[in-house]
Amino acid sequence: MAKIVIIDDEAPILELIGQVGRRMGHEVALFQTGREGMMGLERLKPELLIVDLRIPDMNGLQIIQECRQKYPQTQVVMVTGYGSVETAVEAMKLGAFDYLTKPFELDDLQRIINRAIQKDGSPTLVPVPVEASVRATASSHFIGESPQMKDILGLVQKIADKDSPVLLEGEFGSGKQMVARTLHNKSRRHDAPFKVLHCSSLPEDLLEQELFGNATSAQTIFKRAEGGTVVLEEINMLTLRLQSVLDSFLEDINTRRMNGTLPRQLDFRFIATSSVPMEQLVREGKFREDLYYRISVIPMVIPPLRSRREDIPPLVDHFLSNYSRLSASPLKEVDKYAARLLQDYNWPGNVGELQNAIERACSFADDKRIRPVDLPPKITQKVEITDDENQKLKHTLPIGSKLNDFIKKQERLFIRETLKYNEGSREKTASMLGVSIATLYRKMGLKLERDKMMG
């Protein structure tokens, strides 16, 4: 058993990480401020410190620096957000053992804990399975009921245990990392690390260091993924110089693998993603043709959410469940009007935008039910239509809904009001509206023969 100090100002995340540590058999101490965490370090002198980058009263890098100076026997793992990978690399330079990027998979956290404690010399504990109910990220699960996503899942299952490089193309937020994670989880590498590096989040010098190391540090993302999977997100953002270096590096890896001389620390599955069609970049001279063919042995295009609307309901259910678990709040449901708006919206930001919309709606909802008013304004935005002959008569049309559906609803509403005026007489109503009785029944969604029999 090892002692672990965890510092994070977000209570749900703090407890979640602590829960994993306790289930692995370790002694865990939780702190929500840097000051309290430093006092805990002094008192406990733990084998491992897990610290979030952004702590209100202290900078995460400052905590790492002080920890490495005062307690060199303590390994440090930093937890950071999507846009802070540059700082995470700085943390590695200060002596951090590794870092996790939010949102992360709890299985990855468990593996890093084991590796960090083993590096310290403590006995390695047998990994404890983490139930699916406490996973931290939506991107770790393959969610898709549409034919397109079922086809992709079939391909993923077919190639999961191959070592061929995979290129995933698709719009921002379409689910490329979800597919990459599924590839990893279904492969023989599923117990090894899954590492993601956003090529657009680092300046060229730090990106080169993270990919290939430098004179002072040989630690790279590839070596930290030993036996597992490396995902380079937005590989299209690499400069031509780094593209050349990466091409040579991957060629060397492939040669060693074929010759049976590949060291274990360089055994990984390579996956790249791009939000821009790579063939277009090659034609424009912005991406090396040789590297393109090297990384796209198995290409996949992830369709945008607007072209696979069957996936919206299961994704909504998943995000609702995630929010309920992480916020320790009752599970919410979406009423039929809000669900219709979610189904009809075009989702330019794809799955990521949907996730943010659900999280916002959960925060705004007054009770267990999410209504249209709880959704982001751009989803519920309406256009006001004024009748040319009667300026007082106005209609509102939800943006994104189909015009024919709206017209049919307005027709039925007008027919109902006319029926009330005529005290329920359908003959008088048809005559007043200038339509046949058959047309009236059809617009009301009724069958003429059935209604006459009941009359």
Of residues 169 and 144, more confidence is placed in 169
Burial class, 143, CB count within 10 angstroms (exposed 0-12 / middle 13-18 / buried 19+): middle
Residues 223-249: tens digit of each pLDDT = 888 899 999 999 999 999 999 999 999
Q: What's the gap between Cα 382 and its chain centre?
A: 29
Assess contact for 206 and 93: CB atoms under 8 A: no
Segments in 25-146 forming alpha helices (H): 34-44, 60-70, 85-93, 106-120
pTM of the full predicted structure?
A: 0.66
Of residues 82 and 168, more confidence is placed in 168
Tell me the mean pLDDT in the region 431-454.
71
Tell me the mean pLDDT in the region 54-70.
87
Distance in angstroms (rounded) separating the CA atoms of residues 446 and 455: 13
Count of helices and strands (H, E) across the chain: 20, 16
Residues 19-46: tens digit of each pLDDT = 889 989 999 999 999 999 999 999 999 9
Please give the pLDDT value at position 452: 43
Task: Name all domains of the chain by residue range, CATH numbers in brackets.
Answer: 3-134 (3.40.50.2300), 152-303 (3.40.50.300), 306-380 (1.10.8.60), 402-454 (1.10.10)
